[in-house]
Amino acid sequence: MRSILGARGQFRESLWWVFLGGCLLGIVIVSFNKATFTENIDFLGTDMLYGMKYMEVDNSSLLAYILKKRIGTIGWVMLLATTYLGIVVTYAYAGWLGVSSGMLVSVAFANYGVKGIILLFVSVFPHYICYIPAWIMLLKGAREVCSFIYFPGRCKRTYISGRKDEIRFVVSLLAKVIGVVIIGILLESYVNPKLLLGFLKIF
């Protein structure tokens, strides 16, 4: 049992470092190409924010779009977890999340200073309260799926003893992740637009 908990803790810690490394890389990318992101590309620029401030949000269409995007992400991560490169995929995805986060923070700060950081916080609230733990569960579970398929010697999950247990584990993991993500999707589709548009009016 201690070895199981130890392996899980090491994986969570390593994922955290990969994410932080990705954040640093994203910041460096923007720092060395600031003109590209702040002048040549209207990313978080005044025109973009002005258009967002006065747009009409179709919550139903937004829900359908976000649902397809988020569930699609869960699907391809779990699908790739069943391949030999499943563990690599979990680290690569954690790194990509870090890079994109670092770039977003850098561009927002470069364009608007502290107000830009507040804007980013509002743009991910409250749905990321659900998404963050969901992605952690997803990546940890994807790593374990790959381990007990291809690297059983490294997988200390003694209660997974056969194909039925593997299927039960995958189904349980997907149910938990999708359940949390669905709550996040509803918040992102119906709550966040009101908060974001309200904030943009005083931005």
pLDDT 10s digits, 52-108: 777 888 999 999 999 999 999 999 999 999 898 888 999 999 999 999 999 999 988
Number of structural domains found in the chain: 1
d(C-alpha 4, C-alpha 1), whole Å:
5
- Model's pTM, two decimal places? 0.84
| Cα–Cα distance for residue pair 168/193, rounded to 1 Å | 37
Instruction: Provide the domain limits for residue 136.
Output: 2-200
Nearest-angstrom CA–CA distance, 95 and 16: 9
Maximum Cα–Cα distance across the chain: 58
CB 130 within 8 A of CB 184: yes
